[in-house]
């Protein structure tokens, strides 16, 4: 899945969620965070519905299955979030080890939100690759709305 026009040139594809190589821009990072949250919530609702429809009579067994499902979904969300954050750190010229800073109480999440979500990318090539390409003129020019 690619969304060049939507994201001003950032590639959004499955590899973004599974590989820690390369760089991604702010827009792709925000979209990835939204996709991860929606997918996790949808998976939990679907798992709960399937558990309810399965007819498990033993409350303890059903409760244990739900716990395993939640742990699996949290682990998957953590992995996909880690890979996307690593690519965003690369866009700043920093190592993926900066993800560990996100675990510092209060300061870590604020640092991550500001640096990953709001600060601009490093200009030019860095040790992680070339910068994310941007279309000149933005999406408005492609849809005939430039200058309005």
Give residue-wise pLDDT tens across range 108-128: 999 999 999 999 888 888 898
* Residue 41: inside a domain: yes
* 70 occurs within a structural domain: yes
pLDDT for 131 equals 84
In the chain, how many domains are there?
Answer: 1
Asked, for residue 137, whether it belongs to a domain, the answer is: no
Task: Please tell me the predicted confidence (pLDDT) of residue 81.
Answer: 93
Most confidently predicted of 79-88, 125-134, 138-147? 79-88
Residue 109 domain-assigned (yes or no): yes
Predicted local confidence at residue 60, as pLDDT: 66
In a domain, 102, yes or no: yes
Bridge-partner residues for 142, per DSSP? Answer: none
Name the residue range of residue 106's domain: 21-121
CB 83 within 8 A of CB 18: yes
Residue 140: left (phi > 0), alpha (psi -120 to 50), or beta?
alpha
Kindly state whether residue 84 falls inside one of the protein's structural domains: yes
d(CA 84, CA 34): 12
99 in a domain, yes or no?
Answer: yes
pLDDT for 12 beyond 60: no
Rounded to 5 degrees, φ, ψ at 83 are -65, -40
Residue 53 lies inside a defined structural domain of this protein: yes
């Amino acid at each position: 899945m690619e969304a060049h026009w939507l994201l001003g040139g950032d590639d959004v594809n499955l590899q973004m969620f599974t590989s820690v190589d390369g760089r991604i821009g702010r827009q792709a990072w925000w979209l990835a965070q939204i996709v991860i949250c929606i997918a996790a919530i949808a998976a939990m609702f679907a798992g709960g519905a399937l558990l309810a429809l399965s007819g498990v009579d033993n409350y303890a067994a059903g409760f244990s299955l739900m716990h395993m499902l939640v742990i699996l979904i949290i682990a998957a969300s953590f992995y996909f979030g880690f890979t996307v954050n690593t690519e965003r750190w690369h866009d700043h010229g920093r190592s993926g080890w900066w993800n560990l800073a996100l675990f510092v109480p209060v300061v870590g999440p604020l640092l991550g939100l500001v640096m990953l979500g709001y600060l601009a990318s490093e200009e030019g090539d860095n040790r992680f690759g070339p910068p994310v390409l941007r279309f000149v003129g933005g999406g408005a020019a492609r849809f005939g709305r430039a200058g309005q």
